[in-house]
Structure 1
Amino acid sequence: MQVHEADQAGFAGIDWSKPWFAQFAGRGGRWQQAALTSYAALLAQMNADAREMRRTTGRGQRLAFIAQDDLPPGAAYEAHIASTGCVPTRHNLHDFFNGSMWFAFPRIKAALNARQSAAIDVLGVGPTRGGVRDTLTLFDENALLFACADPALSAALRGFDWQTLLVTGRGAWGTQCEVRCFGHALLEKLIAPFKACTGHAWVVEVPPAYFDWDAATRDAWLDEAVSAALLNTEALTSRMFAPLPVLGIPGWWPENESPSFYDDAAVFRTGRRTR
C-alpha cells in the first residue's frame, strides 16, 4: 500500500530537533522512514521493535501492532489491546505517536490500558465513557509530565501563576523542573505549533537528585511513578491536571525569551483556581 500525499506530508513534517519531539528521535526517525515507505513497512518496523523490547499491555499480553481493519467488528479498542496485546494502528500521525508512547513510557501506557479495560469490563461500552475513563483518555491524548522538585513551582503551575513559573522562575527549568510530552494527540498538533496549543500537565514530585540523572534514567523513573499513581488512584478526575501552554515552556520556543510573550491573557489565563 502506498502512502497518500496528505499522510506523506504529515510524516515528512516531523522535525526531530524540536524539544517536544527530540526525546523520541532515535526510534522515531526509523519509524518515520518506514511510514514514508508504506503502511506495511511502518507496521513491520513497529512490530520488530515490539519483539525486541518485549513490551506488554495492560493485562500482560505481549505488545504487537495490527492494521486498524484487523480490529474485529464490535470489539472495544482498549479491551482488545488488553486481551490480545494487539494495538490497532492506522497509517497516520495520531497512531504513529500513540505507538511511540508504548516504547517511551511503556508502564504508563500499560496502566492506562489496564484501567480502561477494567472500566469496560464493569460498565461496558456505552454512549459515554464515564468520569474515570474520560480522565484516562485525556491523559492518553493530551498529557504533559511536569517533573518538579520545588513545591513552589508546582503551586505556581496549579495556580496559573505564569510569572513565577515561566518568567521569574525561568532559571529553575532544567534544574528543578522539566516537562516530557506524553499525549499523542498533543504531539500530532505540535507538527504545526501555535501559541495557544495547551497540554494537560500531570504534576510529578521528583527528588532533587532526579536532575543529576541522565534522560533515560529520568524517563524510567517517571514511567514507574506515574504508572503507579494511575493504577492506585481510584478517583481520577480532570481536575488533577493543570493546563500548560506548550510554547510557553522555557527553552522550547524562541519568542518566549521575551517576558511580553506571556502577556497574552487569551493564552496565559488566570484560570478557575484564582477566580
Structure 2
Amino acid sequence: MLRAWVDPAAPLPGLDELESRRHRVQDEDGVERPAFVAQTRGLLDDGLHYETRIAAKREVATREHDAHDAFNALVWLRHAPLKWALNARQAADVARVGTKRRTRAQCALTHFDEAGAIVWLSSPCLLAAWDAHDWPALFVDGRDAWGDGIAVTVFGHALIEHVWDGHALPVAKCLVVEAGDEALRAHARGAPLLACWPQAEAALAAAIRAGSLLVDPQELRPLPLAGIRGWHEGRTSDFVAQAPCFRPLRAGRRYPPAWPFT
C-alpha cells in the first residue's frame, strides 16, 4: 500500500515538491487544491482556525518534511473533492459552534480524515460478516473476494503515516459504499487496494458536503487492514483469530447500511 503513495526508501516530499505536484495535477484534471504553505508564526498570526484558513484563504498550513503533513498534502492531491467536502463541513461547524467545542459531526469528519478508508462492496454476505466482526469469514473464507466483490481505498493521512512508520496492524475507520459488481471489477481489476475512483468519490463527496454522511462517528466501521489479501505475509486463520487488531463486536454496536452508489 505504501508504495502507492511514496517510495519508502526516498525522503518525503518537501513544500517545493508538493507545490510543484499541486500545479501539475491541477493542470491535468482542472480541480483546484489549496496551496501548501509553511506553518510559520507569521502564518498562524492570522488567528484563523486550521479549517477556516483552508476554506477562506485556500491555504493548508504545512510543516516542512513532516510525515503527517506530507501525507495530508498527498491525499489532497489524489482526493481533492473528498477533502474539500470534509473542509466545508468542518469550517461550517467551526463558524457555528466556535473553536472551543466539537460537534459529533466534526468528530466523524476528523476520524475519517485522519484514519479513514472507503470500502467498495458488492457482496451483501461480506457486509454481514463484517458487521458481525466475523473476521475469518471476511478475510479467510472471503479471501478471493478481495479485488472482486470488495476493495479498499485508503484515505486517512494519519493511517498512511502509521504504515510508513512501521505500524504493522493498522485499523481503518471506514465508509462503506455499495457498488455494482461490474463497475467494481472494472475499477479494482482484481486488486484489493483501489487507489481512487474519481466518479464514485465525487458522488460520495457530494453526500458528505450535503450532510448525508459523517454526522456521527458511529457511522464508521473498523477494518483491520492486515487481514486483506496481500497486506500481511503472515495472514493465516490463526493470525486472524489471535492478532489484537481483530476485535470482537462490542455489545449493542450496530452499523448503518452501506451508502448506495449507482
Partner of residue 125 from structure 2, selected from 152, 160, 167: 152
C-alpha displacement of 1:273: 5.2
- Aligned equivalents of 2:167, 2:207: Cα separation in 1: 31
**Alpha-carbon distance in structure 1 between the residues aligned to 2:23 and 2:223:** 36
SS class of match (1:180): strand
Task: In structure 2, list runs of 5 or more residues that go unmatched.
Answer: 254-262
Give 1:233 shift: 3.1
Sort the Cα spacing of 1:261 and 1:166 in 2 relative to 1 into closer, same or farther, 3 A.
Answer: same
Higher relative contact order (CA 8 A, sep 6+): 2
Q: 1:54·1:63 contact (CA, 8 Å) conserved in 2?
A: no
CA distance in 2, matches of 1:259, 1:34: 36
Aligned length: 240
Task: Report what 1:212 is aligned to.
Answer: 186
> Is the alpha carbon distance of 1:183 and 1:81 closer, same or farther for their aligned partners in structure 2, counting shifts above 3 Å?
same
Partners of 1:61 and 1:85 within 8 A in 2 = no
Question: In the aligned structure 1, how far is the partner of 2:186 from the partner of 2:218?
Answer: 31
The correspondence of residues 43-192 of structure 1 with structure 2, limited to 5 A, is: 43-54=15-26, 63-69=34-40, 70-73=42-45, 74-91=47-64, 92-126=66-100, 128-192=101-165
C-alpha contact (below 8 Å) 1:153/1:165 kept by paired residues:
yes
CA distance in 2, matches of 1:182, 1:217: 9
The runs of at least 4 aligned residues of structure 1 exceeding 3 Å deviation read 32-35, 192-196, 214-218
Q: Any unmatched runs of 5+ in structure 1?
A: 1-18, 36-41
Deviation at 1:145, TM superposition (A): 1.2
Identical-pair percentage: 31
2:226 pairs, out of 247, 250, 267, with 247
CA contact (8 A) 2:105 2:216 kept: yes
- Assess, with a 3 A threshold, how the Cα gap between structure 1 residues 218 and 62 changes in structure 2: closer, same or farther: closer
Distance in 1 separating the partners of 2:52 and 2:146: 39
Q: Match of 1:200? A: 173
Aligned-residue Cα RMSD (Å) equals 2.5
Tell me what 2:260 maps to: none
Structure 2 CA distance for partners of 1:249 and 1:193, relative to 1, 3 Å: farther
User: Alpha-carbon deviation of 1:205?
Assistant: 1.2
